[in-house]
Structure 1
């Protein structure tokens, strides 16, 4: 595979021929299958939230945050659906993963799912652009293998959604069977679906999957696992990032003017070192 040629092609917002996409997905699957459920990442690192098919905004993220391989990235999931260019967005990230596997971590979001993508646009986009659902099938195989958490300097836990009442320790996340469609309940579901909220402990989520989790359970989880920060995405926030629970948890959102109508800012969270202050870059 000519990854550099693919990169130049996709940067023009062009999708790959179907056979090239299949090769790329197979290649990336071979990389992902070797990654643990909680992937260790040393700082400095840039953390990005939901992208949702906003391809040109993704290019701007790299322009502002730094190009690979000079910058290490953790993406918190939700690469597809809702935006116009889910296929190009996801393919671009896959080529970067193939080209610089140790410099970019792709976490699974709740939209990296067969069921969700058939409702919110990615399936239809693949059908429109390729004339069959083969491309969607290649990509959903990659979805199943995406890892679910990153741990920066052993102190900052990155997930897409949040915590689970079934999970007390990072070792329990490490032991999950992730190679599957996201289930309707259980720990894997909760990690990609849950939201922080001003509740006492746990409450049923209005999303219909995952939970709402409060400050006390967040602090308990962080104490057990010796964490300084939980970094997640999953919810649009107008200023691009939002701290909660005495700054123990942060939501990062990286799709500006989400759905081309929300008017929100996007941000990247930069962690420069274990003892250095965190900073955010705005888009």
Structure 2
């Protein structure tokens, strides 16, 4: 390629980097990303108030030590996802963004549901409606057009994060309330849909997510390679996490049945 061609490619890459400025900021290069902490004052104030509330929360009937620990774990994860350099790195790689979203729906949502469960008792949730909504929301935000919109607007980004978390919380709350067989079924259905989405992203023949084209190249990574790794991450670890949840539900169900059988024998 001629010098003029190289310069044209570099200018185009810089234009692409300027075009996509998500909430976590411009995609950082490999030499600066560790210094890129998100110092958003609004987020900082919210996290500070949450920390004061959590660490001063009295232990009572609705705030057991385990629930407090769960809420504190969710708070710590929020700091990692939205304040630490991982936030900036998710602007660079689609793979990191997928990890970010998996942590949101598979770790933060269950932690919040368990910690806030006493205050969520009256919230009406249907298992299969919650399962369908959580699945549709996850699929929508990983379609190229809505995803690109979220990475070009702070408001749409907040909508993406909020709906992903809220729908996942509704799903896990419904799973906790459901009978074991129904809960296992819902989790296994979600496993299938998560794996299918990951497979579609993995085997796509071309890069689908423009916000990461130039940023991945700046690290020497081809956008298609980044996308394929993201799809595999969603397909394998994501599906395995849901499968593990289904197995845990089944294990507890069998344990309860064995205990009921022992009590019946003793009676």
TM-score w.r.t. structure 1 length? 0.27
TM-score w.r.t. structure 2 length? 0.28
Structure whose alpha-carbon radius of gyration is higher: 2
Q: Which has the higher contact order (CA 8 A, sep 6+)?
A: 2
- Which structure features the higher share of helix residues? 2
